[in-house]
Structure 1
Amino acid sequence: MKKLLLVTALISAVLMTGCNETKKVIETAGTVRLTGNYTVTQITGTPLQSKDMSLSFTALDKMVSGNSGCNTFSGNYSIDVLAISVGQLMATEAYCDEPVMNVERAFMKALKETGSFNIEDNVLSLYSKVDRSVLLKASRK
């Protein structure tokens, strides 16, 4: 009986370690796939006139940075398969004309509400963690 219990415990440990390693490989693949520079083209379905908004994701330190139209920002992110979570963002505090600031606020809100992503034909789509609606689209540079 003790041998059976020991064998069961060993098999369970090996399986858990294997699953954990598989998850790490999937997370790394997602992070590498996301890595790059993007020009934001759309926020909550509204196409942008300006090409000033940008996003950059780096895999090594899991940092996101960019230009939000008026200010620059940076922060960290984490990935779990295709789920993404953007952490607290730091940003400069310049003030621009109100229309630019309104778009910037929508952009920053979209980043905070992001729960998943997809990249297809070099277009990054960020989806809401609440209802999976498209929050933002950006083209790879």
Structure 2
Amino acid sequence: MTAHTGDEPLTRALTRALRTVTARVEQVLKPENLTLDQWLVLDALARERGLSMADLATRTLATGPTLTRVVDRLVTTAAAYREVDAEDRRRVRVYLGPRGRAAHRRLAPKVAEAEAELLGRTGDGPAVLALLAALSTAPVA
């Protein structure tokens, strides 16, 4: 990551940081032929069993068409599977398959290590995460 000057606009600084984090995490995911969006879905499914597409969209911040393509790809590779919701037959839930669970188990520590490495560059990782959380929950006028 290039040095940040105090006069760089917030939008540019955040975009630069996002691209740096994305590139680093994608390096970890590449050997498993996974994209960042696929990882975000696998991670969400590993944390909560049987998510609807709306739930996945909320947790991954992916748009509907992107999320559909990502889930389709994960289903094609047997990393995830879909089932009709037993309580609401109009709703489809997505579950982590055995291949997806194994990939998540292999990759989660590596992704966490990459994230820790990047946060370590800041000198105060918890403060950076708190700032990002505050920015992401700030009301938009």
TM-score, structure 2 normalization: 0.28
Structure 1 or 2: larger strand share?
1
TM-score, structure 1 normalization: 0.28
Which has more radius of gyration?
1
